[in-house]
Amino acid sequence: MAREQRRLAGNVSGPFFVDASCIDCGTCWTFAPAHFRNGASQAEVWHQPAEGAEQGQALLALQACPVAAIGAPRELIARTPVEGFPARVTATRRGEVYYCGWASRQSFGASSYLIVRPGGAGNVLIDSPRFNRAIARRLEALGGVSSLLLSHRDDVADHQAFADHFGCGRWIHSADADAAPAAEHRFTGREPLPFDADLRVLPCPGHTEGSVAFLFDDQVLFSGDHLWWSESTGALVASRQVCWWNWPEQVRSLERLLELDVRWLLPGHGGRRIFAPGEWGRELSRLLDSLDS
């Protein structure tokens, strides 16, 4: 629970604030950038939300925070939208994509996503949010979870609780499988492979040896910690500083993504981005040109 006595000095005055327990994970300013931003080394409220939809967005950011570092008066918190998370991000001909919120400290606040697929294809959870009854109920209302795909070792969080609750099968790459040894299935090798008709598995070794991206309907890329969008620089980012395994391999994995034409980039950390047709290749080339391998 955030405490007023630990309110950070960078917050603008008003009912919403970030306190000193913030771990600087980026969840709040990615989800609600109109109200939260990255301060010197922790988040801060830079614009207090107005009553109504703005307040609802800020309250969902409060709910998503993995360490309860965002505070607001009790009477405001009681107005948190009941059907907040998962929050719809986009839809394709093959299904709808949701951001799950409820970030977990175990995965440093990483984003997780739900693909809701009609026609009996089964819903897919991409990485694990924090488990609790509220999100379990909402996932049930959206059709449950058939499969849980883990992008890499850092973002497995509460996979066991979701598997216990939904009876879903779990997949992780064999090189990262020691992070979730109970997962029933393994991806192997470095070649792209179909998960099923509308979902492809793209091994991207680099950030970790077993990093994997997932491509839904040839246009929505779930990139884990492989790459993300930066609003501040207006460019794609992959970082050597947060490459835990092998940077030259990560650059080669990025090069393999040039053949795609991604429309939605949904990373574990960092900014999301919608691309116009053809823009993905230009932006990824620009990133590769800027990297030293």
Start-end of H helices in the chain: 27-31, 53-64, 74-77, 133-141, 159-166, 247-256, 279-290
Position 65 contacts ligand SF4 (CB under 6 A): yes
Position 157 contacts ligand SF4 (CB under 6 A): no
Interactions with ligand SF4, residue window 40-59 (CB under 6 A): 43
Q: Among residues 33 and 81, whose Cβ is nearest to ligand SF4?
A: 33
Q: Among residues 20 and 182, whose Cβ is nearest to ligand SF4?
A: 20
Q: How many residues bind ligand SF4 (CB under 6 A)?
A: 15
Position 67 contacts ligand SF4 (CB under 6 A): yes
Main-chain dihedrals φ then ψ at residue 255, nearest 5 degrees = -60, -35
Q: Among residues 69 and 204, whose Cβ is nearest to ligand SF4?
A: 69
Q: Which stretch binds ligand SF4 (CB under 6 A): 20-28, 112-120, 219-227, 271-279?
A: 20-28
29: left (phi over 0), alpha (psi -120 to 50) or beta: alpha
Q: Measure CA 95 to chain center.
A: 18
Residue 40 Cβ vs ligand SF4, minimum distance, rounded to whole Å: 13
**Cα 200 to Cα 10: distance, rounded to the nearest angstrom:** 43
3-state secondary structure of 72: coil
Position 23 contacts ligand SF4 (CB under 6 A): yes
Length of the chain measured in residues: 293
Q: Among residues 36 and 264, whose Cβ is nearest to ligand SF4?
A: 36
Interactions with ligand SF4, residue window 109-128 (CB under 6 A): 109
Residue 41 Cβ vs ligand SF4, minimum distance, rounded to whole Å: 10
What secondary structure, in 3-state letters, does 120-156 show? Answer: CCCCEEECCCCCCHHHHHHHHHCCCCCEEECCCHHHC
Position 69 contacts ligand SF4 (CB under 6 A): yes
Q: Are 111 and 27 in contact (CB under 8 A)?
A: yes
**Cα 228 to Cα 185: distance, rounded to the nearest angstrom:** 27
Residue 165 Cβ vs ligand SF4, minimum distance, rounded to whole Å: 24
Position 87 contacts ligand SF4 (CB under 6 A): no
Q: Which stretch binds ligand SF4 (CB under 6 A): 6-14, 25-33, 80-88, 160-168?
A: 25-33
CA distances from 254 to 69, 78, 81, 223, 238 (A): 34, 44, 38, 10, 9
Residues at the contact surface with ligand SF4, assessed by CB under 6 A: 18, 22-28, 43, 65-67, 69-70, 109
